[in-house]
Amino acid sequence: MKTVTIDQHTLPAIGLGTWHLGDSAATRSREIDALNAGLDAGATVIDTAEMYGNGRSERLIGEAISKRKRDELYLISKVLPENASAQQLPRSLDRSLKALNIDYLDLYLLHWRGSVPLSETVTALEDAKRAGKIRAWGVSNFDVDDMEDLLTVPNGNHVAANEVLVNLQNRGTLFDLLPWHQAHNIPTIAYSPIAQGDTLGANLLANATLKQVAAAHQTSVFAIMLAWVIQLPQVMAIPESGTIAHATENVHTINLQLTQSELQAITKAFPTPTKKEPLAVI
């Protein structure tokens, strides 16, 4: 089983994303069942944010995990940049903890860089660690220049992870950001690891190489796309799923081993960029 180490915690390389979960009362029960199916299949990481459904995602997770042992879960949430000040961050954190019905977060991320100085945000995050409300902190949607700026502020080197968009459709991070993470021993959390939108159907699901590799493993093209993401060094994927079947398939993909020849074929079909690209954010 592929694992990723974050803040000295060895974790399965596939967790559970919750971006759109909790948005509809009609699908709430199904989504709770999907989260529990993913946990039963072996996932331990659940990723959310105060922004997701204006707290609805966090509240749904709180309900889903209410009968789970806290120390068997690794829970991640994110603070909006406008709430990342010394005054507002503690309030946002307390709201997230209340919504999730937990005493602490394993990892708390700055959702993206905003106008609050990084030094102020890092100080607030370090204070939250000392208060026992978070175990570690990190960032999201930070490019190389943002990460380099972060390392210049006091305690900025305590950053435990950076969560960014990584999938076969969006490979810009492979040119510079992921190598930078690897050189600085900072894990990557890949959101939306299975690409979304109209381009997905046109360029990925119908791609001959991906279909051939999927057939060889008797699995879906979705599983191959996910397996490609987690074969990247120190990369954890957090696919979102609102159904039991998809959540279970996603987590089981952690045991899917792509061969070197298959990886080479996929790289040929989807080349690594040869120059800097703007960091993709969705």
Give the dihedral sign, CA 197/199/200/202. positive
pLDDT exceeds 90 at position 118 = yes
Pairing of strands 45-47, 74-79: parallel
**To the nearest whole number, what is the mean pLDDT of the chain?**
96
Give the span between the Cα atoms of 124 and 93, in whole angstroms: 10
pLDDT for 58 equals 98
Confirm whether 191 is a catalytic residue. no
Give residue-wise pLDDT tens across range 83-108.
999 999 999 999 999 999 999 999 99
Q: How open is the CA angle 44-45-50, to the nearest 5 degrees?
A: 145
pLDDT for 282 equals 83
pLDDT for 195 equals 78
Predicted TM-score (pTM) of this structure: 0.97
Contacts for 267-276 with beta carbons within 8 Å, 24 or more apart?
268/209, 269/207, 269/208, 269/209, 269/210, 270/168, 270/171, 272/171, 272/174, 272/175, 273/171, 273/172, 273/174, 273/175, 274/175, 275/175, 276/172, 276/175, 276/176
State phi, psi for 137 to the nearest 5 degrees. -135, 160
Domains, the chain, with CATH or none:
3-269 (3.20.20.100)
Residues present in the chain in total: 282
pLDDT for 203 equals 77
pLDDT exceeds 70 at position 131 = yes
Mean pLDDT on 203-212: 92
pLDDT for 40 equals 98
Residue tagged active-site, from 52, 74, 108, 191: 52
pLDDT exceeds 90 at position 142 = yes
Give residue-wise pLDDT tens across range 213-223.
999 999 999 99
